[in-house]
Amino acid sequence: MEDILQMKDKNIVVMGVANKRSLAWGVARSLYKAGANIIFTYRKERSYTKLQKLLEEEAMQAEAVVQCDVNNDESIQEAFAKIGEQTGVIHGVCHSIAFAHAEDLKGDFIETSRDGFAFAQDTSAYSLVAVAKASRPYMTEGGSMIAMSYLGAERVVKGYNVMGVAKASLEAAVRYLAEDMGQHQVRVNAISAGAVRTLAAKGVPSFNEILNKIEETSPLRKNVTQEEVGDMTLAMMSHLSRGVTGEIVYVDSGYNILG
């Protein structure tokens, strides 16, 4: 059969695997099945250990595993220089990284601290810009960048607070980056994933209510899975979506279309 995805032996960087429930892990699995070479980045030693264990459990071969702290420009530059040196060319980056302080998700949004606001923006939105800049010199054959967003970027989701504002910023960054990176034939899109039980989701106080509501009211009457998000990310990174950039693609059982 003709290889319609054209992902075989493409070098894809996956950022943000915290554990086996992470959306980034779902993405890595889908890409790996399609024949891509996966390069993982991790922030702390703890996530490195977890990642190694996951790779062993799934018998997945990583092309490389590189330390990268997205709150630090030097760390980002070093990580991508190392990846570029090892692979020669980067064909894609999946940025699945977001963080806000727990105290900024607990109370009312109006109580967000200045530091907490800045930190959420830096980690969840600016990091995509910094990663695009660091990876661009190695994306010499064109390619695709994908960020992970959520409906809280454009609607009020109780308890999502400062994270919603950071995701709105991320989605705007996707559009501006799509314009900048387009001249290098690099496409930049975001997946707005429905609620999936991840480590990050645990921090949102109303999470169980959200899951129940989606199951009862979304057009497909079900919550989405990590696999569904992974497969759509694969499709958006593949040859099939070569004409698409600057888009926010919803993988949420249609929940976002409801009034």
Residues belonging to the active site: 150, 160
Q: Which residue has the tokens 């990846």?
A: 83
Indicate the DSSP class of residue 142: B
Whether 135 contacts 93, CB under 8 Å: yes
Q: Contact 126/120 with Cβ under 8 angstroms?
A: no
- Residues 147, 46, 27: CA angle, nearest 5 degrees: 30
Residue located via tokens 């990174």: 237
* Number of other residues whose CB lies within 10 A of the CB of residue 84: 18
Query: What region does 254 belong to: left with phi over 0, alpha with psi -120 to 50, or beta?
Result: left
4 exposure class (CB count in 10 Å sphere: 0-12, 13-18, 19+): exposed
Contacts 24+ apart (CB under 8 A), 99-102: 99/123, 99/124, 99/200, 100/124, 100/161, 100/162, 100/163, 100/166, 100/203, 102/203
Q: How far apart are CA 174 and CA 27, in angstroms?
A: 19
